[in-house]
Amino acid sequence: MTIKIGNAPCSWGIEFPSDPAYPTWQSVLDQCAGAGYKGIELGPIGYMPEDPAILAPALAERGLDLIGGVVFRAFHDPAKWDDVLDASVRTCKALAAHGAQHLVLIDSISPRRAPTAGRAAEAEQMGADEWAAFRDRIATIAKIGTQDYGLTVGIHAHAGGFMDFEPELERLLDEVDDSILKICFDTGHHSYAGYDPVAFMKRHIDRISYMHFKDIDPAVKADVVANRTDFYRACGQGIFCNLGQGDVDFPAVRKVLVNNGFEGWCTVEQDCDPSMPGTPMEDARANREYLESIGFT
């Protein structure tokens, strides 16, 4: 059994295709490799070159494999469907060109949901018709990824979106066939939502195709929940901490993966704000070293 550890551009603050505060894509590749990783995600489509003739040699020069890519778009908003579809198809093409496996679908943060991140009982819920259309948009992209491009597609719950809390995730899994939709399981977002990541993994390990490793500072989480802090402010307060310093039990996460014969990539995602002082490369190295210390190699 082989579990491989990668990293993602979001650990360098990359959430959108471009921003003046962002480091260059070449710098992110350099730092990812320098921190000891052998794989990296694509990041938001448009950040790294979509031409494989440019990106492939850059990856090879640094000894990096392309793991997968994320479509972080407004699946909840029917008016944004053209944008979702465009980003999805472009991401699929980019991944297929490099032989990457994982397409990750995330409903982006909604103004209707950001204020109640971490507080399921207060969060606005979709009506039946809105939910059905939302589910079908996700299923449509999942079919494109699996059937047209041969990718493994995983749904990823995310704080502040409409696919956030455990009941929503499990409802989607019940309603969309597992032949087209797996789970990209993010340990940190599951904890942020108020649920036990390890317990969820034990129930759904057969459908988890890919892992995102993220940790949550329990003191910050308690504060933002108590004060009803919205998602963006919580990020600015440092809710996402280095692995092993938060409330996610990573030795137990590893045990579930190993005991169930999980193989493939697990990707570190430590979201950060690129405009704030910080040392993403040092954090990336510390996260890799922590994972090695508990048995990941």
Range of 171's domain?
Answer: 3-293
User: Residue 276 has what pLDDT?
Assistant: 61
For residue 81, give the 3-state DSSP assignment. Answer: helix
Residue 146 has pLDDT above 80, yes or no: yes
Q: What is the pTM of this model?
A: 0.96
Rounded-to-integer distance, Cα 69 and Cα 103, Å: 5
Band of residue 277 on the pLDDT scale cut at 50, 70, 90:
low
Band of residue 210 on the pLDDT scale cut at 50, 70, 90:
very high
278 against 70, higher pLDDT: 70
User: Residue 275 has what pLDDT?
Assistant: 61
pLDDT, tens digit, 9 for 90 and up, residues 230-245: 888 888 888 999 999 9
Phi-psi region of 201 (alpha: psi -120 to 50; beta: other; left: phi over 0): alpha
pLDDT, tens digit, 9 for 90 and up, residues 211-230: 999 999 999 999 999 998 88
User: Residue 21 has what pLDDT?
Assistant: 86
Instruction: Indicate the number of domains in the chain.
Output: 1
Which CATH number fits the domain that encloses residue 32? Answer: 3.20.20.150
